[in-house]
């Protein structure tokens, strides 16, 4: 049973509620169904929606997206085109109108597609707690989450040249992930110089795959190097069974989707 939803209008008031054991509520698209099903224990909630955390700033060197920015707002912002394929792959517009950026960092697999894209973008997460604000790489935050009296206030990343993004679901749109792949590659003279590759659907949480990155760097981006990258990823992925696909199936099809993500076919 839900005991209260607080809707403060300042960040300090949100922080005070968190210190008093309230749990953050953003769009509620993930949390509310779980409360209703009693999959999540009774709790007090503090809504973040009126706390002024939805600002977007796009500069030459950095993109900053406030925690409660909705996925629909990203979809409508031409300056954030790099994220459009990703957000359009998440649920349907009514859900995206509520679902937020920070909420996506805390959902369980097979959700978390935006977190996969942000991992490939090497995003930092801004976190506010009783001791003040700090910034942490998303890659470091994902395994531990944040403390109960902390909240994410925004994400920040350097604008990439290109973000390759590919999601395989049971349907083309409005389906949870079987495999999600995001990658930022830089090449010179046809050779991969730098690579950041992240996966969804292939581990208990969105993961960066350094083994696949190492297999690509120094090689031409072609069928052979992408096969080698998939081979290198094999031992480190930990796919799981769920209602969308078995672990066996995810492992089996992932090389095909890696090829589609990196080579486009
Ligand atoms: C029909 C349907 C389809 C969906 N399809 C997809 C999909 O394809 N891909 C996908 O990735 N997701 C999907 N989702 C899941 C969900 O909609 C998204 O992941 C969404 O981004 C979650 O954001 P939210 O704001 O609704 O989070 P909420 O439900 O409000 O919160 C989720 C969790 O994050 C915590 N939290 C929220 N904001 C903060 C913060 N600022 N600081 C600290 N903790 C915070 C909450 O306490 C809670 O534990 C789907 C959901 C539905 C209902």
**pLDDT tens track for 193-215:** 999 999 999 999 999 999 999 99
Q: Decide if 175 contacts 164 (C-beta within 8 A).
A: no
Q: Place domain 164-263 in its CATH homologous superfamily.
A: CO dehydrogenase flavoprotein, C-terminal domain (3.30.390.50)
Q: What is the pLDDT of residue 1?
A: 60
Q: What is the pLDDT of residue 58?
A: 97
Radius of gyration of the chain from its Cα atoms, rounded to whole angstroms: 19
Query: What DSSP character marks residue 217?
Result: T
The total number of residues shown for the chain amounts to: 265
Percentage with pLDDT > 90 across the chain? 93
Residue nearest to atom 34 of ligand 1 (CA): 103
Q: What is the pLDDT of residue 2?
A: 67
Check pocket membership of 17 for ligand 1, CB cut-off 6 A: no
What is the rounded average pLDDT of the residues 150-166? 95
Q: What is the pLDDT of residue 173?
A: 84
Check pocket membership of 15 for ligand 1, CB cut-off 6 A: no
Nearest atom within ligand 1 for CA of residue 200? 11
Query: What DSSP character marks residue 83?
Result: G
In SS3 terms, 227-257 reads as HHHHHHHCCCCCCCCCCCCCHHHHHHHHHHH
Check pocket membership of 74 for ligand 1, CB cut-off 6 A: no
Query: Lowest-pLDDT range, 2-6, 57-61, 257-261?
Result: 2-6
User: How high is the mean pLDDT of the chain?
Assistant: 96
Measured CA to CA, the distance from residue 87 to residue 76 in angstroms comes to 10
Q: What is the pLDDT of residue 160?
A: 82
> Best substitution site from 75, 88, 103, 147 to test ligand 1's pocket, by max atoms within 8 Å of Cβ?
103
Q: Does the pLDDT at position 218 exceed 70?
A: yes
Check pocket membership of 51 for ligand 1, CB cut-off 6 A: no
Q: Where are the extended beta strands (E) located within the chain?
A: 4-6, 22-25, 44-47, 56-58, 63-66, 124-129, 132-137, 151-157, 164-169, 177-188, 191-200, 207-208
**pLDDT tens track for 178-190:** 999 999 999 999 8
CA 77 from chain centre, in angstroms, equals 18
Residue nearest to atom 27 of ligand 1 (CA): 103
Please indicate whether residue 3 or residue 151 has the higher confidence score (pLDDT).
Answer: 151
What is the rounded average pLDDT of the residues 75-81? 97
What is the rounded average pLDDT of the residues 44-63? 97
Tell me the domain boundaries of the chain.
Answer: 1-47, 164-263
- CATH classification (class only), 1-47: alpha beta
Nearest atom within ligand 1 for CA of residue 71? 21
């Amino acid at each position: 049973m839900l005991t209260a939803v607080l809707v403060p209008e300042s960040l300090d008031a949100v922080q005070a509620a968190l210190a008093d054991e309230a749990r953050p509520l953003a769009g509620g698209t993930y949390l509310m169904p779980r409360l209703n099903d009693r999959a999540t224990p009774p709790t007090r909630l503090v809504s973040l929606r009126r706390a002024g955390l939805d600002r977007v700033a796009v500069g030459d060197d950095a993109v900053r997206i406030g925690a409660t920015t909705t996925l629909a707002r990203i979809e409508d912002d031409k300056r954030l085109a790099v994220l459009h394929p990703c957000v359009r792959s998440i649920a349907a517009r009514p859900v995206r109108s509520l679902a937020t950026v920070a909420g996506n960092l805390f959902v369980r697999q097979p959700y978390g597609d935006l977190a996969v894209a942000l991992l490939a973008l090497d995003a930092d997460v801004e976190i506010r707690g009783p001791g003040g604000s700090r910034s942490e790489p998303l890659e470091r935050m994902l395994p531990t989450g944040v403390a109960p009296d902390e909240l994410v206030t925004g994400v920040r990343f350097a604008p990439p040249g290109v973000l390759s993004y590919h999601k395989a679901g049971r349907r083309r749109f409005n389906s949870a992930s079987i495999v999600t792949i995001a990658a930022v590659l830089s090449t010179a003279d046809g050779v991969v110089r730098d690579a950041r590759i992240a996966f969804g659907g292939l581990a208990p949480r969105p993961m960066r795959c350094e083994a696949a990155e190492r297999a690509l760097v120094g090689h031409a981006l072609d069928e052979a190097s992408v096969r080698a990258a998939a081979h290198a990823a094999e031992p480190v992925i930990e796919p799981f069974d769920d209602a969308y696909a078995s672990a066996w199936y995810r492992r089996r099809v992932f090389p095909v989707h890696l090829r589609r993500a990196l080579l486009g076919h």
